[in-house]
Structures are given as C-alpha cells and as structure tokens.
C-alpha cells in the first residue's frame, strides 16, 4: 500500500515538513527564552519558557509515538499505528459494519436523498451524459476490446452460426418457396424464360462450340469433319431448346414432369429435405465460408476502433450519450419508475448490503491487516500529520501559559500568605 508519488503527495509532504518546522521553531523559541530568562534572571519568563518546553516536547512525543518510536527508541506504547495495525483494522471493520450499515439510518438517508430523481436529473443534462459516454467510449469499450480474446469470439460466432444453421429446416423453406411453381402459369413462364436464355447463350457461344468440337476430333480427319460435327451439335441443341419452348411438345411435357416430381419430392420426401439440409450445411462448412465468418469479428472490431478514434465525432459516443440522456429524461418524467427505482434501492439493494455487512467489515479488516505497518503509518502521517503539528504548537503555547499561571499562583501565595 505504498503511496503513489504524484504532485498531490509531493505538496502534502511539503506542507507536513513546513508545519513540523513551525512547531520545532516555536519549541526553539521557548528554549531561547529559557536561556535568556536564566541569564537575565527573569522568573516570569523562566516559568513560561520551562512550561512551554515541557508542553512542546511532551506533545512532540505524543504525536511521534502514533507513527513511530521517538528517536528510534522502542519505548512502551509507541509506534502505535504500525504495531496496532491489525486491531485498528478490526475495529474499523466493526465500526463501519455496525455504525454505517444500519438499516434505520440508511433508509432515512436514502429517502432524503431520493437517488432516482437526482440521478435522472443529472443524466438528463447533455454535459453529464457526454461525460458518461466519454468515459465508456474512452475507457470501457477499448478496455473490453483489449481484454477479449479474438479467437474465443470467433469460435463463439462460428458455434452460434453452426447451431442456428442446424436448427433451420432448409427443406421446409425450399418446399415453401417452390410451392407456387406447382400452381398456375408461373412454372410454365419460368421454364420458357430459362429456355430463351439457353437459346441466346447457345447462339452467342457458337464459335466456342466449334472450337471444343475441333479439340475433341481425331487429328487424322485433318479438320475436315470439324465443321460438320460442330454444326450438327449446334443445330441439334438449338432445335431441342426451341421444341422444348413449345408447351405442347413431348420434350416440354417430360421437363414439366421432371420439375413436378422434383417439387413433389421436396415437399413430401424427408430424404430429399435431408439432402437439401446436408448440402447447405456442407456448403457452410467450407473454408471460404468459415473465413468469412471469422472476418465478421475483425471487421466489427476495426469499425468500432476507427469510430472511437474520431473523439467527439464518434457516432458510437454520440449514440451512447443520446441513450443516456433519453434514459435520464424518461425516468425523470415517470413518477412510477422513480418510485420503483427508489424502492428497489431501499429494499432490495439495501437488504443485500445489510445481509453482507459482516463480509464488508471483514473485508475492511483483512485489507487493513494486509497492509505493511510502516507504509500505513507513513500514509496516515502524510494525510493527517500536518494537522497534528498544531497539537505540538498548542502544547508549547498552552504549556507556557500554564507555567505563567502556576508562577502567578506561587507568587501570590508568597506575597500575600507568606
């Protein structure tokens, strides 16, 4: 628990040293006055300076004895804080748990404070909402992003994606989507459109067909049969497609029957639906798909980081500030919600706190016990030592005044009685 060396601590150390010097200087003045009183035989000044020195030294001893052994001598009942650290921690824990964590006192304070109203009013102010949003955007979100293990997130996304995918019956979806094809003229029109596209593609790729035929014919023909074969292939395919476009043709009837049987299988065959599901799931398991899923988190993380780097122009920060402000306004304008929040704090949270007050007390006690005694002493002296020096100053001055009183009483006794 070593104090953090910062500008505030440096200032406190300077102030403490200054007050120690003041108290020591006043004691030095008392010593000087004592020497003067003896040399010039001034009884009143001697009485004052003697008592001032005794008071100053006694209070110096008392103050120092709190934090360390005076002059390093292990005198009994000195260095109280370092040596009694455990007892102090125990008493502090008991004091907090018994005196502060008291239901009656806390309920009265909570009712007076009205946390829900004050919190909602504070959050509804734009400046305060921006402060909270800035805290979240600058510290919380980047901290979370740094803490999160990217591989764990990617595995989680993959697991969720796979789990959700496996829960979907794609066979039902496909059957539902293809069901309109069994009704009306939609199927006929779609087949005609497909056949038209195939005819156009066939015409546009006539040279490619000729090239492929040439590559497949034996070299011994010296290319003499290439043209005839390619023309035959092209014309045969073209005639087949044109005939298939005729709704009354035998080819079209066979295509229609094939499509009908396929749709019927999708709709009623569990085996076909299983095949469709397995096909889609196998596609989802391909490396390219997995890489894409993994890239989702990288893109999200990069987008968040880039946005937060914009500072006040960050859309995330603005959104958070807006949500906080709207939340504050919403609570402020809803008396029922204010009562619910206050009652929740008063009853539920307070009960949890009070039910664990012994744990809180033990936590305070164990925390204090874990501190190093010397460091605790140094920390406390840094915090309160400056004010304790006034005890030394007052001891010197009050001691001197008491010395004068004693001298006056003694003088009066000798003058009037003796």
For the chain, the farthest-separated pair of C-alpha atoms sits apart, in whole angstroms, at 161
Q: What is the pLDDT of residues 153-169, one digit of tens each?
A: 888 888 888 788 777 77
More confident residue, 229 or 389: 389
User: What's the distance, CA 367 to chain centroid?
Assistant: 24
Winning range, highest mean pLDDT, from 205-219, 226-240, 276-290, 344-358? 344-358
More confident residue, 212 or 382: 382
3-state SS class at 310: coil
User: What's the distance, CA 316 to chain centroid?
Assistant: 15
Query: Would the pLDDT of 3 be above 50?
Result: no
Cα separation, 249 vs 238, whole angstroms? 15
Sequence-distant (6+) residues with CB within 8 A of 392 are 23, 26, 27, 56, 59, 60, 63
Strands, E, within 147-240: which ranges? Answer: none
Q: pLDDT class for 220, splitting at 50, 70, 90?
A: very low
Which range among 33-47, 86-100, 210-224 shows the weakest confidence by mean pLDDT? Answer: 210-224
What sign for the dihedral angle of Cα 175, 180, 183, 189?
Answer: negative
Cα separation, 45 vs 400, whole angstroms? 9
Q: What is the pLDDT of residues 324-344, one digit of tens each?
A: 999 999 888 888 888 888 888
Q: pLDDT class for 186, splitting at 50, 70, 90?
A: low
pTM higher than 0.85: no
């Amino acid at each position: 628990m070593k104090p953090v060396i910062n500008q505030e601590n440096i200032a406190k150390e300077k102030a403490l040293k200054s007050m120690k010097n003041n108290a020591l200087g006043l004691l030095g003045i008392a010593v000087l006055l004592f020497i003067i009183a003896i040399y010039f035989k001034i009884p009143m000044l001697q009485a004052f300076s003697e008592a001032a020195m005794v008071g100053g030294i006694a209070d110096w001893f008392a103050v120092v004895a709190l934090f360390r052994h005076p002059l390093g001598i292990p005198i009994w009942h000195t260095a109280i804080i370092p040596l009694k650290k455990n007892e102090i921690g125990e008493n502090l824990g008991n004091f907090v748990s018994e005196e502060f964590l008291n239901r009656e006192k806390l309920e009265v304070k909570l009712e007076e404070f009205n946390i829900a109203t004050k919190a909602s009013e504070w959050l509804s102010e734009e400046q305060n909402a921006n402060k909270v949003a800035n805290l979240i955007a600058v510290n919380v979100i980047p901290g979370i992003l740094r803490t999160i293990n990217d591989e764990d997130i990617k595995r989680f996304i993959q697991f969720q994606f796979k789990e959700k995918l496996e829960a979907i019956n794609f066979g039902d979806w496909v059957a539902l989507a293809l069901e309109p094809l069994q009704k009306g003229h939609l199927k006929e029109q779609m087949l005609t459109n497909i056949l038209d596209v195939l005819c156009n593609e066939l015409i546009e790729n006539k040279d490619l067909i000729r090239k492929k035929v040439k590559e497949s014919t034996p070299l011994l023909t010296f290319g003499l049969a290439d043209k005839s074969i390619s023309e035959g292939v092209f014309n045969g395919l073209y005639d087949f497609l044109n005939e298939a476009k005729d709704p009354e043709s035998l080819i079209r009837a066979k295509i229609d029957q094939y499509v009908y049987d396929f749709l019927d299988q999708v709709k009623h065959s569990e085996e076909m639906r299983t095949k469709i599901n397995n096909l889609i799931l196998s596609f989802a398991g391909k490396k390219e798909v997995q890489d894409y899923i993994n890239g989702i988190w990288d893109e999200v993380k990069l987008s968040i980081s880039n946005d937060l780097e914009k500072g006040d122009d960050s859309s995330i920060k603005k959104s958070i500030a807006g949500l906080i402000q709207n939340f504050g306004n919403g609570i402020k304008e809803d008396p029922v919600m204010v009562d619910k929040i206050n009652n929740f704090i008063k009853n539920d949270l307070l009960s949890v706190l009070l039910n664990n007050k012994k744990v809180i007390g033990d936590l305070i006690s164990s925390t204090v016990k874990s501190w190093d005694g010397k460091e605790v002493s140094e920390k406390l002296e840094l915090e309160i030592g400056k004010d304790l020096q006034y005890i030394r100053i007052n001891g010197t001055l009050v001691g001197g005044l008491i010395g004068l009183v004693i001298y006056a009483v003694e003088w009066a006794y000798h003058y009037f009685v003796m």
